[in-house]
Amino acid sequence: MTFFKYIEGGGVIGYVILALSVLGVAFAIAAALRTRQSKLVPDSQVKWLRGRSEAREFTKALDGCRSTDGDTFLGRIAAAGIERSLRGPLGGLEARAAMEDAGEDETARLFRAIDSIAVIASVAPLLGLLGTVQGMIGAFETVAGAATKSSAYYETLATNISIALITTFQGLVVAIPCVMVHAWLRRRIDRAASDAGKALEPLAMALEQLEGSLSETKSGGH
């Protein structure tokens, strides 16, 4: 059978599975571009934040993270920690917790963005199974309703069995790559979250040390 025969042989359900495959490719490409390391945790931003931390330029760092260029996975997490330390009642002592909360929220948002691929991976084989059931029902109806086993009988029977097998094949062809891509994207997001945590550790320590030095100064003044 040619490639087009595999597509046509699945009937209406086969075309639905084909549409899902197109959507799956589109979602996978979009997610791959969205979860690039250079987009989530840019090296230039990591170095820039480290420099602002060493110089204790936290307001400047916050403004940079809120800018258009700084609006990244890493930048949004950093901004949450800096803003909490500058405005929260406990100052820098709240920075680490704020970054952890923001990191969990940002990671969850990325996971939700790839849920569509997981849905396609689950639905495609179910549609294939539905096509299989449809084809087998048609095959049994052909057997039960045929008075004589003519050439038309065998042709109809073979067509129904073909639909049953082709839709299963189509569903698996779509589902297997989607499962693999989804797992790869999840690992990519987990790695980005881990890298962001390591990159923001100097900033969190600088915010905590700044608060500690301020507390000591206040105590000495008293």
Structure tokens at 172: 């698996």
Query: If you ran DSSP here, which 8-state letter would residue 94 be given?
Result: G
pLDDT of residue 67: 92
Roughly how many angstroms between the first and final C-alpha of the chain, as a whole number?
88
pLDDT of residue 64: 94
Question: How far is Cα 147 from Cα 16, in angstroms, rounded to an integer?
Answer: 34
Which residues of the chain have a pLDDT value below 70? 1-7, 88, 90-92, 140-155, 157-158, 160, 211-222
pLDDT of residue 220: 43
Q: What is the enclosing helix (H) or strand (E) of 205?
A: helix 151-221
Q: Which long-range contacts (CB under 8 A, 24 or more apart) does 47-53 make?
A: 49/74, 49/78, 49/199, 49/200, 49/202, 49/203, 50/199, 50/202, 50/203, 52/203, 53/202, 53/203, 53/205, 53/206
Distances (CA, A) of 81 to 38, 43, 106, 114, 143: 21, 19, 13, 26, 70
pLDDT of residue 12: 84
Nearest Cα to Cα of residue 106 among 40, 59, 61 = 40
pLDDT of residue 126: 93
CA dihedral sign of residues 221, 57, 68, 46: negative
pLDDT of residue 213: 46
Question: How far is Cα 171 from Cα 127, in angstroms, rounded to an integer?
Answer: 7
Question: How far is Cα 170 from Cα 168, in angstroms, rounded to an integer?
Answer: 5
Residues 6+ apart with CB under 8 A from 113: 31, 34
In the block, which residue shows the tokens 């049953």?
A: 164
pLDDT of residue 146: 59
Question: How far is Cα 166 from Cα 11, in angstroms, rounded to an integer?
Answer: 9
pLDDT of residue 222: 43
